Structure 1
Amino acid sequence: MKKRMNVQKEIERLDPKADCQRIVFLTSYLEFPWDMTRALELALFRTFAVPSIAALLDRTGEFSNDTLRRYDDTSIIINEIMINGYYSERGGAFIKRMNRMHGQYDISNDDFLYTLSTFIYEPIRWINKFGWRTLYRNECLALYHFWSAVGERMRIQDIPPTYEAFEQWSLDYENKMFANTEATQRVANCTRDLLLSFYLPKSLWKTAEPAVYALMDEPLLKAMNYPLPSPATRRRVEAALRVRAKLMRLLPKHKNPQVMTFQQFPTHPDGYTVEDIGPKSLRDKWRQSA
């Protein structure tokens, strides 16, 4: 217990801007490792609800033809940046790799900006609803400053200057842009099935789909053309997550950061370097031009 209190006290005393890399690391890998992963998975779905983002992902074929590889590579980049920080040589290398991948496509600044916002606000909403404690103000602000700094290194323009302004911008963008398209459904269905495959045999996926939908809000469900879960289903799913939160409050917490290792990425069984990340077509192209 003393160790845990020390972690929380450290978070509270750190500056949310100057120390955002340290706060994000502690929050993500000591306090809420499971919740952070689930929240970032849900953040993926929010980006699919923007037709221009879904159309690009669908057009590349990455989510339909190599869903697990796309998921693993996305997880690796996010984890490398969050674990090592954007100032580190390793974190910077993965940001450069991400920029190089994105540079192959015509992506609007607003789509970049919206995607960035989901990395901030989806974890905050999830943890405040289902975590074993709510986030401190320091943690919320640290997520904003952390991802804003990453966004600057991605050359994203017009990042809103405050936590509240960025959240409002993100909500307004959803209201304006969320729409159902065939591309949205295809990339969302592939990702939904992949996430279900982590926990269940294929024969049970259909039965479990309502539980996935119960984690999504109505605007997102409509954009995905998914059925609204019954109030009873939503209550059961949320109750199960709140029971987990209560148990987590009672159980001993992690003493060491729960960082993901290469063994947890099936598409990289022998490990990876920064050059291994990205679609095969781009990796082959870059090797030929080297």
Structure 2
Amino acid sequence: MSITAPTTGIRPDRYHRRDELAALDPATDHVEIYRALSGLEFPWDIQQALSMALFRTYAVPSIGRLLADTGEFTERTQKRYDDTGLILDTVLANGFEHAEGRAAIRRMNQMHRSYDISNDDLRYVLCTFVVVPLRWVQRWGWRRHTEVEKVATANYYRELGKHMGIRDIPETWRDFENLLDAYEAEHFGYDPGGRAVADATLDLATTFPPNDRAPRALSRAFLLALLDEPLLDALGYPFPSKPVRMAADAALRARAVVVRRMQVRTEPFSLEQSPSIRSYPDGFDVRELGTFPATCPVPHGGRDRNPAG
């Protein structure tokens, strides 16, 4: 089935695609549904949410410290950001069975195998991919997700997690939420490495449109206002004032009102075309993205390591 944007009169029906997606089966059509959500219905929201999800991973010391030790997110922040997004986008754009999709997953798994990463940490990161965008759209999207879309989102990342060799993946989107909340309650904490990676990512985010149109201090304050207090506390950031939080919330809600009245998107958003992706102006080969350490640069401590990651 092809996801379309038929017209009603001279203007596409803003909610037609929602109804069309609701008629699909999230058990078998989850790739098609999630591709439509990311590329057509909520492209900006999901991209922003996945970017903000990075900060949650930094607040888990075992993850933030590892990322700091590799130097990738502090010394080559733009490239690391681009590589992460492009690898994931290649899987989504092509599917799990396509040669390019398989190459992207292989590249991701090769990188993960170079480091001592526990199954629990990989599973938590997978949870952020599901939960943070769902909660973002619930709060700031131009419309809310349907139940079919939530189920499809969870099923898409369940399949991705299986290809990554992650064990004990949550079954439902609610299970993903419960696991994320429980993991953060137990593991969130301050680590200098995690804070350094967060600072580097925050600095990069202030250069993305439309943040780059405002003074950096203002953009930084806006971005921090989007983070919840447990996350801010774990990263050691000061809590933004209530007026700043209210202003950031109001700006995103106002955007949702505007988007709700815009023409329906008919051409899928491509991350490669995003102005935030800057490392490969002449294109890229997914097989060459990421890092290629000859040996693991981080000592292995014998934790419950993911055999595929």
TM-score by length of 1: 0.93
Matched residue type, 1:182: P
Match of residue 39, structure 2, among 29, 52, 58: 29
Deviation at 1:206, TM superposition (A): 2.2
Q: Which of 15, 19, 24 is residue 14 of structure 1 equivalent to? A: 24
1:134-283 to 2 correspondences below 5 Å: 134-199=144-209, 204-261=215-272, 264=275, 265-279=277-291, 281=293
- For 1:78, the aligned partner's letter is L
Would you say 1:111 and 2:121 are equivalent positions? yes
- 2-side partners of 1:263 and 1:148: how far apart? 26
Pick closer, same or farther for the CA change 1:138–1:216 going to 2, 3 Å.
same
Q: Give the structure-2-normalised TM-score.
A: 0.87
Distance 1:75 1:28 in 2: 12
Can you list the C-alpha shifts for 1:43-96, whole angstroms capped at 9, x where unaligned?
111100100001110000001110000000001011111222223221111011
Q: 1:128-150 CA deviation, whole Å, 9 max, x = no partner? A: 11110000111111110000110
Distance 1:208 1:100 in 2: 35
2:131: which partner in 1?
121
Offset, 1:203 = 9.1
Mapped to 2, the partners of 1:263 and 1:31 lie a distance apart of 16
Instruction: Specify which structure has the bigger relative contact order, considering alpha-carbon pairs within 8 angstroms and separated by 6 or more residues.
Output: 2
Task: Name the SS for the 1:106 alignment partner.
Answer: coil
Pair 1:246–1:203, CA change in 2 (3 A): closer
Give ranges in structure 1 of 5+ residues lacking alignment: 284-290
Aligned-residue Cα RMSD (Å) equals 1.9
**One-letter code aligned to 1:268:** Y
User: Aligned partners of 1:103 and 1:244: how far apart in 2?
Assistant: 41
Structure 2 CA distance for aligned equivalents of residues 98 and 29 of structure 1: 22
Segments of structure 2 that go 5 or more residues without pairing to the other structure are 1-6, 296-309
- State the match for 1:286 in structure 2: none
Give the drift of 1:205.
1.6
* TM-aligned CA distance change 1:280 to 1:97, over 3 Å: closer
Partner of 2:92: 82
- Aligned counterpart, 1:287: none
May I ask how many residue pairs the two structures share in their alignment? 283
For 2:111 and 2:273, locate their aligned partners in 1 and report how far apart those are by CA, in whole Å. Answer: 21
- Counterpart for residue 70 of structure 1: 80
| Bigger shift: residues 208-217 or 65-74 | 208-217
Code of the aligned partner of 1:267:
S
**What's the offset of the Cα at 1:207?**
3.1
Structure 1 pair 13/224, CA: closer, same or farther in 2 (3 Å)?
A: same
